[in-house]
Every structure is written in structure tokens, then in C-alpha cells.
Amino acid sequence: MRYRLTFVVGLAVGYVLGTKAGRERYEQLRKSARQVAQNPAVRNTAESAAQQGRQFADKAYHVVSDKVGDRMPDSVAQRVRSLRERNTNGSGADDWGTSNT
């Protein structure tokens, strides 16, 4: 699914950049893309996918932590701790602009 989405986005960008249809067609495509992005079903799906990704990353973090244990250099361990503290004490949003709900 990810590759299909990437292909469609690449196709759209290529069309916009390569077309000779002009500004009118560009605005039409832009308006359609905005409507899709603002669709509540699309937004809910994207948010639930982001939440599942965060849950998977958290599980992976714990599995890796258990396996790596004390073998991780102190500088890396400190960096990971500071990033986790920033995310738990932060503003409730990640670097991608999505909420942590």
C-alpha cells in the first residue's frame, strides 16, 4: 500500500510539474488534494495509523532495550533518555505535527 501511495503522489507531482495545461489545471488538482486531505475519514485513518505506528515503535524500543541492555554506549543511552523525556514532558505533538493521542 505504501508503494502504491508513493507512486500516486509521484505521478501527481510529475503531472503538475510536467504539464502544459497551466495554472488552471494546477489549481484544480490542488483543490482536489485539499478536499481529500480534509475528509474526516482520511484524517481519522491517518491519525489511527500514526497511533499504531507510535505503539509499534514503543514496543520495538522495549524489545531492543531488553536485548541491548548495558552494551549501549553512554552517549547513545543519554540521547535516547533525553528524547523520551522530551516527548513525555513535551507539548503533546511530535515533530510531524500530529497529536500524541
Give the C-alpha distances (Å, rounded to integers) separating 84 from 15, 23, 44, 78, 87.
Answer: 41, 45, 26, 10, 5
Q: Please report, in tens digits, the pLDDT of each residue of the chain (101 residues total).
A: 677 888 888 888 877 777 666 778 778 888 998 998 899 999 999 999 999 999 998 888 888 877 876 677 888 878 877 887 877 665 555 555 555 55
Reported pTM:
0.45
Q: Which residue has the cell 507510535?
A: 54
